[in-house]
Amino acid sequence: MMKFTVLTLFPEMFAPVHESILKRAQAAQLIEVGLINFRDYAASKHKNVDDVPYGGGAGMVLKPEPLFAALRDLPPSGGRRRIVLLSPQGEVFQQQKAKEWSWLDELVFICGHYEGFDERIRRLADEEVSLGDFVLTGGELAAMVMMDAVARLLPGVLGEKASAEEDSHSGGLLEYPQYTRPPVFEGMEVPDVLLSGHHRRIERWRRKEALRRTFLKRPDLFAKVEFQAGDFNLLEELIQEH
């Protein structure tokens, strides 16, 4: 069982963890989710968690004390625990990070605040991670995204079929086009090869289309593709077609 602990000022934002895959994973006791409102650790009478910045400037800055106190109060993890600070200055989150984290026993997320946090809070974290190159009002949605990406990699969460499927589509390519019924919808037809029942041709077509898409949409991904025997023939065909 993997534990996700979130330190946040907005625990009520985490309703999505009670839905969909995270809900099922909790019901099956594959994951556990703990939400801690670190405002509860504010020492002042008015439970202040932020204050004006030294040196001036607009906005409020998260104070260090409540987060230090909240982290110190965590029960022992009994295993490999990683403390992650969500911040636009962190390393950009990618699938490789989700895989790495999926081996941990506990992942602790510290959710930042859009107006900034005291620099000393950085000392609490083992690593600092950003969801991407865009600005959010807080780390809550980022934490949920990362929980989803990690949870689906844990054994049993998606079920055998889906995980097997993922493996077969990996290797760093974008996925090939998928089709289901009806064979013709508003004039748009399913490619003949998929209706042929010819397993070998279907595999070849799918691999070729996955290569095509990656080549046209995300050529930057090619650097990490695990090529298979036959790929270079397919790439040569693609180059002649384009």
32 binds its own copies (CB under 8 A): no
Identify whether the C-beta of residue 62 lies closer than 8 Å to the C-beta of residue 116: yes
Minimum CB distance to its own copies smaller for 12 or for 226: 12
Q: Which of 10, 215, 222, 227 binds its own copies (CB under 8 A)?
A: 10
Q: What span, in angstroms and rounded, lies between the C-alpha atoms of 15 and 38?
A: 18
Q: What span, in angstroms and rounded, lies between the C-alpha atoms of 188 and 2?
A: 45
- Window 146 to 165, contacts with its own copies (CB under 8 A): 148-149, 152, 158, 161-162, 164-165
Q: Which of 30, 154, 190, 238 binds its own copies (CB under 8 A)?
A: 190
Q: What span, in angstroms and rounded, lies between the C-alpha atoms of 69 and 134?
A: 30
Minimum CB distance to its own copies smaller for 3 or for 206: 206
Minimum CB distance to its own copies smaller for 29 or for 96: 96
| Length of the chain, in residues | 242
- Pick the catalytic residue from 11, 16, 53, 88: 88
199 binds its own copies (CB under 8 A): yes
Catalytic residue check, 81: no
The tokens describing 230, both together, are 């036959």
Q: What span, in angstroms and rounded, lies between the C-alpha atoms of 65 and 120?
A: 10
Instruction: Give me Rg for the CA atoms of the chain.
Output: 23
15 binds its own copies (CB under 8 A): yes
* 91, amino acid identity: E
Catalytic residue check, 115: yes
Q: Which of 2, 144, 211, 234 binds its own copies (CB under 8 A)?
A: 144
Identify whether the C-beta of residue 53 lies closer than 8 Å to the C-beta of residue 180: no
Q: Which of 63, 66, 139, 208 binds its own copies (CB under 8 A)?
A: 63
- Window 203 to 222, contacts with its own copies (CB under 8 A): 205-206, 213, 217-218, 221
Q: What span, in angstroms and rounded, lies between the C-alpha atoms of 59 and 115?
A: 6
Q: Which active-site residues does the annotation give?
A: 88, 115, 152, 167
